[in-house]
Amino acid sequence: MQRITILGSTGSIGTSTLDVVARHPDRFQVHALTANRQADLLFQQCRQFKPKYAVLMDERSATHLRQRVVEAGLDIEVLSGLAALEQVAVLEEVDAVMAAIVGAAGLQPTLAAARAGKKILLANKEILVMAGNVFMDAVRASGSSLLPIDSEHNAIFQALPRDYDGNLIGNGVRRILLTASGGPFRNTPLTELYDVTPQQACAHPNWVMGRKISVDSATMMNKGLEVIEAHWLFGASADDIQVVVHPQSVIHSLVEYVDGSVLAQLGNPDMRTPIAYGLAYPERIDSGVASLDLFKVATLDFVAPDFERFPCLELAYQALRTAGTAPAVLNAANEVAVESFLEGQISFLDIPRVIASVLSELPVTAVNCIDDVIGADTEARRTAVQKIHALPPSRRSVALRGSL
């Protein structure tokens, strides 16, 4: 029986993980569930899976959940705050941690799990973007098992040799081909992107995701972050990673070998497939995902990414090549800019402008410890807010009208 802590159980990855877990009660047991402030959904999950711990970041939400748990007669300890997230990530009785908290908020509890030697199912790409060397050093030092859950990185993991050691050349790998759907604006005229609304940006054609990730997909920053993540996971340089726009989202990524072979992992666009693979690795179990109907798919298209249309992707490549704190600054500025766009404070096209401005202003320093990352993250967020407030009022008013 594998006992699991799910960091971010109310998000799309968390709920998909619980769906897979529910299909295999003889293999998996939920030990702890965590969320930000969605107390009602977390309560429903607690009723079904009966974890030993439930954690909410927001204390008010935790108080509400605690009351409902008591009224329902459930034997669940309700905790709150960042320290509680770290606590349930390192519990001795926990075997595996699903790291599904979106953004920088998932950094510290997932790093704690790595230091504790847990099996980590990594669905939070920002951890490696912000603190790749610190996190990977912790994984190696503790002997933690790290399994990528992002569909693209999971596909690469499956297409690489089972004993892959992070040496591309030594394993006969020429390059990694990272597929991207292109998001909802793949073919939208550039002149129409300024008036894009949050609702339009969140309407992904293939995947059901949270709002922040959906906007990242629309700007292709999501793919840029995945390029940086692939660097740390697989020992690949920026030049070893090629992004390929594949609108059907059927091929999740590919690995090209020096002999000319290209291995791809295919499947329906459903996160339960990589989640099931990570949970049961090295075995395979039923995920609940329907079989891929190749006759229905019929055609697979591939297009080179347009960096003029998707400047965020180019910014991510630049940050990877710059290294040091640059990726952490990129991620922090993006989180602030995306939140501001979702709140109607800036336009869609202002997102890459804010990020580029923050990257150009802040100095790049080495990352030797987690404090270096947190410091860069804090300064980048402060600077991004300043850049947004400095935008001409006319630009911000247009963005606000587009969000209504």
Could you report the per-residue pLDDT of 322-356, keeping only the tens digit for each?
Answer: 999 999 999 999 999 999 999 999 999 999 999 99
Query: In this structure, are 144 and 167 located in the same domain?
Result: no
Q: Which range of residues forms the domain containing residue 84? A: 2-149
The answer to whether position 236 is within a domain reads yes
- What are 5-34's pLDDT values in tens digits? 999 999 999 999 999 999 999 999 999 999
Residue 305 placed within a domain: no
Question: What CATH number does the domain containing 62 carry?
Answer: 3.40.50.720
Average pLDDT over residues 259-275: 96
Q: For position 209, what pLDDT does the model report?
A: 66
pTM (global) more than 0.85 = yes
pLDDT at 198: 87
Q: Residue 14: its pLDDT value, please? A: 96
pLDDT of residue 394: 54
The residue behind tokens 């030697």 is 117
- Reference 384, options 330, 347, 343; nearest CA is 330
Whether 6 contacts 32, CB under 8 Å: yes
Distance of CA 303 to the CA centre of its chain: 23
Q: Identify whether residues 211 and 115 lie together within a single domain.
A: no
Same domain (yes/no): 20, 116? yes
Confidence category of residue 397, pLDDT binned at 50, 70, 90: very low
Domain count for the chain, please give it.
Answer: 3
Q: Is 272 a member of any domain?
A: no
Looking at the fold, whether 168 and 254 belong to one and the same domain comes out as yes
pLDDT band at 83 (very low <50, low <70, confident <90, very high): very high
Using an 8 Å Cβ cutoff, are 203 and 269 in contact?
no
CATH of the domain at 337: 1.10.1740.10
Same structural domain for residues 124 and 190?
Answer: no
- Check whether residue 124 and residue 167 sit in a common domain: no
154 located within any domain:
no
Q: Please tell me the distance from the alpha carbon of residue 316 to that of residue 223, in angstroms, as a whole number.
A: 9
In a domain, 47, yes or no: yes
Return the half-sphere exposure (C-beta side, CA atoms, 13 A cut-off) of residue 300.
16
**pLDDT for 137 beyond 50:** yes
pLDDT at 300 over 50: yes
Q: Is the dihedral of CA 81, 86, 89, 93 positive or negative?
A: negative
Please check whether residues 11 and 121 belong to one and the same domain: yes
Q: Which residues are CB-neighbours of 137 under 8 A, at least 6 positions away? A: none
Convert the pLDDT of each residue in 90-105 to its tens digit: 999 999 999 999 877 8
Same domain for 229 and 142? no
In a domain, residue 88? The reply is yes
**Residues 120, 251 share a domain:** no
- Residue 313 predicted with pLDDT over 80: yes
Residue 279 covered by a domain = no
- Count Cα neighbours of 3 within 13 Å in the Cβ-side half-sphere: 14
Domain annotation covers residue 304: no
Whether pLDDT at 399 is above 70:
no
pLDDT, residue 302, reads 95
User: Given a cut of 90, is residue 403 above it in pLDDT?
Assistant: no
Same domain, residue pair 127 and 168: no
Instruction: Record the tokens describing residue 208, joined without a space.
Output: 């059901």
Q: What confidence tier does 208 reach under pLDDT thresholds 50, 70, 90?
A: low
Domain boundary among 122, 149, 176: 149
- The reply to whether 233 and 97 lie within a common domain is no
Same domain flag for 20 and 115: yes
Q: Three-state DSSP class for 300?
A: coil
